[in-house]
Amino acid sequence: MPADTETMRFWPRVGLYVDRKMAEEFIERMVGHGSVLDEELDEFVQPTIPDAQYLADEVDVLFSHDFEEHDLDEANTAILALMTFEGNRKDYIKELKADGMTLEDAKEAYKEELALMVKAALPEQFSDEEE
């Protein structure tokens, strides 16, 4: 659950808690996306995304209601954990340096920890490597 339940709402379309600014950024990305590769057709096609006004109305409805708690799915939870870890990169490396590691070793330890987190989040992607 987010710390600020006054300004955050769960938006099922993206599977995350958002504030209005984040929702606007999502809308901009969704409608400004252009075309995507349809691998079955092997050509670029227009995605079927509602227009910006429809999405903005959807967000207005979210914020017109009281906060409701929702569980995040595993993929979104993993993405948020990785984003948080990456956002704390400098502090993580500084902490390792304070514990006696060289800068290069601390950077390498960070990369290794990040790789472990990615493997844990996507075990099916890495199961072939381990066999």
By CB atoms closer than 10 A (0-12, 13-18, 19+), residue 14 is middle
Number of separate domains in the chain: 2
- What CA–CA distance (Å, rounded) separates 71 from 12? 11
Of the three residues 21, 42, 64, the one that is the final residue of a domain is 64
Residues 93 and 60 in one domain: no
Specify if 1 maps to a domain: no
Specify if 13 maps to a domain: yes
Specify if 86 maps to a domain: yes
pLDDT of residue 34: 64
Of the three residues 64, 82, 102, the one that is the final residue of a domain is 64
Domain containing 98 equals 74-130
pLDDT of residue 38: 76
> How does DSSP classify residue 90?
H
Residues 51 and 32 in one domain: yes
Residues 56 and 84 in one domain: no
| Helix, strand, coil abundance in the chain, percent, nearest 5 | 60, 10, 35
pLDDT of residue 109: 97
Tokens coding 41: 């057709």
Q: Distances from the Cα of 94 to the Cαs of 83, 97, 127, in angstroms?
A: 18, 5, 33
CB 89 within 8 A of CB 82: no
Residues 78 and 126 in one domain: yes
pLDDT of residue 42: 82
pLDDT of residue 44: 79
pTM of the predicted model as reported, rounded to 2 decimal places: 0.59
pLDDT of residue 122: 83
**pLDDT tens digits, the chain, 131 residues: what are they?**
677 788 999 999 888 899 999 999 989 888 876 666 778 888 877 767 788 999 999 999 999 999 999 988 888 888 888 989 999 999 999 999 999 999 999 999 999 999 999 998 888 777 765 55
